[in-house]
A and B are shown apart, each in its own frame.
Chain A
Amino acid sequence: MKKSLLAAACVLAVTAAPAVAKPLSIGVSMALFDDNFLTTVRQAMATHAQSIQGLQVQFQDAQGDVGKQLSEVQNFISQKVDAIIVNPVDTATTKRMTSAATAAHIPIVYVNRRPDETSLPASVAVVASDDKLAGRLQMTVLAKKMGGRGNLVIMLGDLANNSTQGRTAGVKEVLAKYPGIKIVEEQTANWERTKAIDLMNNWITKGDKITGIASNNDEMALGAIIALHSNGVDPKSLAIGGVDATADGLDALRKGDLTVTVFQNAKGQGAEAVDDAVKLANGQAVKQYDTIPYELVTPQNYKSFLNR
C-alpha cells in the first residue's frame, strides 16, 4: 500500500515536472477584484504560479461585467497565451469564451464558479466547490442551535451569482426538515458588509423577533453582527452562520459572535486551477470537474483554519 502510494507520488512529481521545461504564459480573468474571497483565490494563484519556474501569469479584472470579461479572453487569445483561467462573472454566459478558446486551441480553466454548460470539450477544466453543500452544512448547525424553531432571516449575495442561488437552495433543503423555523425575511446585501449593516438595522427596527441569520457569506454575517451590537443585542443569543471562513469571520467565531462558517478552500481552488492550466497547456489530461470540498468550521475547530 505504502509502496503504491509512493509510486503514485512519483508519477505525480514526474507529470508535474515537465511544466518547468518551456516558459508558459497564462492569462487570468477574474470576475471582480474587489470581492474579498476572490482576492484570496487570485493571490493563491499568483503565489502558486511563482513557485512554478518559467510561468508567467497576467491578471485582468472583469469588474463584474460579462462583456468586459469576454473581450479580456479574446485579448488573451490574440496574445496567444498558453492557457486561460476564467473566474466567470456569469455562469450562464461562458459558452462564447469556451468556444473562442477551443477554436484557437487554447485550454481554458474555470475557477470558483461552475459554468452552466453541460458538455465541455476536453481542453476545458472546472475547479470549483458545490455551493448547495455550503448552504446545507451552514443551516444544519444553525437549526440545531435554534432548537428547530424560531424566526430566520436569509441574507442573500448578488442575485445574479449562482453561488447565491446554490447556497440559499442548500439552506432551504435543510429547512424542509424543520417546519418550526420560519423564514421571516430574505433580501440581498450584495455580499457587502456595509449593506448588511443597513439591512439588518432595518430588519431589527421592523420588530421581527429574529433568532437565526443564514448569510450567504461571512462579510454580510459580520455586518449583521455589527448591527446587532449597535442595537444592544448580544449576537451570541442568536444562531448566525456565514460562508468562506475569512480571517475576519474566524475572528468573529473566536469571539463567539458567529455560530458557524463554512470553509471554502480559496488557496486550494487557486493552486489547482493553475496546475490544471499548466497541465492542459502541456498537452496532459486533467480531471474535468475538480470539486474542492467545503468544510464546516465551528468554535471547536476554527484554529486549524487560521493559516489556510
Chain B
Amino acid sequence: MSMVADTSVPVSARRPRKLPVEASILAVLVGIALIFELLGWTLRGQSFLGNPSRLLIIILQVSIVGLLAVGVTQVIITTGIDLSSGSVLALSAMVAASLAQESDYARAVYPGLGDLPILIPVAAGLLVGALAGLCNGTLVTLGRLPPFIATLGMMVTARGLARYYTHGQPISMLTDKFTAIGGGANPVLIFLVVAAIFHVALRYTRYGKYTYAIGGNMQAARVSGINVTRHLMLVYTIAGGLSGLAGIIMAARATSGQAGMGMSYELDAIAAAVIGGTSLSGGIGRITGTVIGTLILGVMTSGFTFLGVDAYIQDIVKGLIIIAAVMADQFRRKRRSI
C-alpha cells in the first residue's frame, strides 16, 4: 500500500528530510516567546517564561482551538477546508450540556431526566459533531460541492441549530462530573493526546498515506485504487467529531452551554494550521506543525495580556503572522520547483 501512496505524492510535495519545516516554525515560536521575555523584564520587571503555571495557561487557553486545528489540518491536507468547526462546536456544546444538567434543577431543558451517566452527554456531543462532519463529507463527495461552500453552509446551519435548540438561552447548572472534564489541566491533556494520536495516524498508518495521496493528486489517488469518496467522508467525519469533542470540553470548562460559543474559532484553527506549515493547496502539513502554530497563538494571547496591551493589537499581529506564514509557504514551494 505504501508504494501506492509514494507514487501518488508528487516529488515536489515531499519534505526535504534534512530541514523539517517544523524547525523554522519552532524558531518563530521561540522567537516570539523571547520577545515577550525581553519586554517582560523591561516593562514589567518579571519573567514571562520563568513561570510554570503561565506555560500551562498558554496551552490551556488554546487547547480547544487546538482540537479544531488538528481536525482542519487533515481536511486541508486533502485540499479541503472546514469552516463549520466553530459552529459545530457550539451545537455539540448545547446538546451535551442539555443532557448533563443537574437533576434537581427546575428549569432544565429536559426536566425529570435524572442524573445520566457522564457517558451519555459525551457520546451525544461527539455524535452530533461526527454527524455534522459526515454531512460535510457527503456534500463534498457525493454532492460535488466545493468544500468551502459545503462547510460554509454547515457553519451557518449549525449555528442556527445551536440557537434554535433553546431559543438562545444558555444551558447551565451542569453536574460536577461533567464540568470536571474541563477542569484543571484536562483540556491540555485531551488536546495533546488527540494531537499525538493523529500525528501517528497521519505519519505511520494507511489512513495517513491515503490522506496525503488524495491531497497530492486526487485523480492519481483514485486511479491507484483508493476509495477517495469513502476516505474523504472519513476525514470530514473525524474533523466534525473533533469539533464535537471541543464543544464538550468548552461547555464543561465554562460550566455552561451557549449558542455563541466558538464564534470564529474555525478561523483561528485554520490560522494555526497554516502558521504551522499546512499548505492550503493540499498534500502538505503535519500535526506537529499545527500544534506549534496553536502554541504561537497561545503565546501571543498570554504575552499581550501579560504586558497589558490592548486586545486589538493582538488581532493585528495575529493577522500579520498568518500572512507571513503563507508567504513563507509560497516562497518555499517556488524555490523547490526551480
Contact = CB atoms under 8 A, between A and B. Distances in A.
B172 A34 contact: no
Contacts of B39: none
Contacts of A35: 260
Interface residues of A, number: 35
B254 A230 contact: no
A218 to B, nearest CB: 11
A34 B263 contact: yes
A202 B57 contact: yes
A89 to B, nearest CB: 15
12 contacts: A34-B168, A187-B305, A187-B308, A187-B310, A194-B250, A198-B301, A198-B305, A201-B60, A202-B57, A202-B301, A230-B184, A247-B107
Contact of A230 (B54, B183, B306, B308): B183
Given A39-B168, A206-B306, A248-B170, A194 B57 contact: no
A28 to B, nearest CB: 14
A226 B254 contact: yes
A279 interface: no
Interface string A181-208: 0000101101011100111011111110
B169 interface: yes
Given A43-B167, A192-B260, 11 more contacts: A33-B163, A34-B168, A39-B167, A43-B168, A43-B169, A193-B254, A197-B254, A198-B61, A198-B305, A205-B302, A207-B46
Contacts of B301: 198, 202
Contact of B306 (A42, A188, A202, A246): A202
- The 4 A-B residue pairs whose C-beta atoms are closest, nearest first, are A34-B260, A39-B168, A202-B305, A198-B61
Contacts of A226: 253-255
A39 B61 CA distance: 27
Contact of A205 (B57, B261, B263): B57
B88 interface: no
B83 interface: no
B294 to A, nearest CB: 14
Residue of A43, A202, A203, A246 with most partner-chain B CB within 10 A: A202
A13 to B, nearest CB: 31
Contacts of A222: 255-256
A197 B253 contact: yes
Contacts of A251: 172-173
B260 to A, nearest CB: 3
B259 interface: yes
A205 B51 contact: yes
B90 to A, nearest CB: 9
A201 B308 CA distance: 14
Contacts of B51: 205
Contacts of A203: 305
B170 A36 contact: yes
A223 interface: yes
A251 B51 CA distance: 34
Contacts of B261: 194
A303 to B, nearest CB: 14
Nearest to A36: B170
B168 A194 contact: no
Contact of A199 (B167, B254, B305): B305
A302 to B, nearest CB: 15
B258 interface: yes
Contacts of B44: 206
Contact of A194 (B254, B259, B306): B254
A198 B253 CA distance: 11
